[in-house]
Amino acid sequence: MNVALAGLMAREAVALDMLVGKSLPGWQYNPVPAGRGVSLPPADLYVVDLAGWGLARWSEAAERHLFEAMAGAPAVLVAPAFDQTWSALDARRLESQSLVLLHKPYGVEDMRAALKLAAAGRASSAAPVIAFRVPAPAPAAPVVESGEMTASEFQARLGAFPESAPQLFLRQLAAALALGQPFEVRVTFLNRLIVDPLEQWVACNTPASVLQGLCQDDAGASATEIDPINDKDAKARALRLDIPVQPLESFLWSLMQGWPVPTPVPFA
């Protein structure tokens, strides 16, 4: 399945490829630059961020331009949050096309389901316009087993990794911890970590499988962003986003599971 990603930010495209692509083998994702004047390449299915592609609000002209650009292919259309203008899509004009209208914010499972719906409609030649508004995904902290690891132990363990092993994400995290100031790691447009090394806590709504994927994929890790924040902002931000909090040492221990060390590293 050849999927063209139109109008998505680079970070969103990487996240979609990394988080959804792994569960849909054989699907190829090709980014298309943002902008209304950009032509869409031939594809089996499109994911179009309507705002990013210059069509934030529905109009007859915008609808006509979109349908002409997609040339009858099915698509997942990502509409801006709180904007219902694209609900005006006329199903009678889409008898040979399967569209899924997905409003922001959405989660990984929502996008995966939307892609499967659009692809199923293509395969069966079904032609409904399926429009749905999904809630934000429930926060999910990484699965933490019994164990703890201090920041210094984390750094020591990392230093024992072979140079050939992927480790960009872990080294970025270790460098941020070494500064001793609260910081935020944006993994995707929905998933993030908020870390306070001083008070020894981490707020995380990123699935453990995604974190492990970042630990083992330097290309995916390069799309993450880390920004310092002050301690008051860190607490307030975690509360405002309703992100679960856990002890930092337990989180670091769980993050390191599955990484063999060639020589024993003594922990205090």
pLDDT digits (tens, 9 = 90+) for 215-251: 888 887 888 889 998 777 788 888 888 888 889 998 8
> In the CATH hierarchy, which top-level class contains the domain 2-132?
alpha beta
Q: What does the DSSP 8-state code read for residue 206?
A: S
In this structure, which long-range contacts are made by residues 20-24, counting pairs with CB atoms below 8 Å and at least 24 apart in sequence? 20/108, 20/111, 20/112, 20/115, 22/213, 23/112, 24/112, 24/115, 24/116
**pTM for this model (two decimals):** 0.47
Read off the pLDDT band of 123 (50, 70, 90): low
Residue 172 scores a pLDDT above 80 = yes
Domain spans, the chain: 2-132, 151-255
| CB atoms inside a 10 Å sphere around CB 163 | 5
Residue 142 scores a pLDDT above 50 = no
Percent of the chain beyond pLDDT 90? 8
- Give the residue-averaged pLDDT of 43-52: 89
| Alpha-carbon 228 to chain mean position | 21
Burial 41-71 (b: 16+ CB within 10 A, else e): eebebbbbbbbbbebbebeeebbeebbebbe
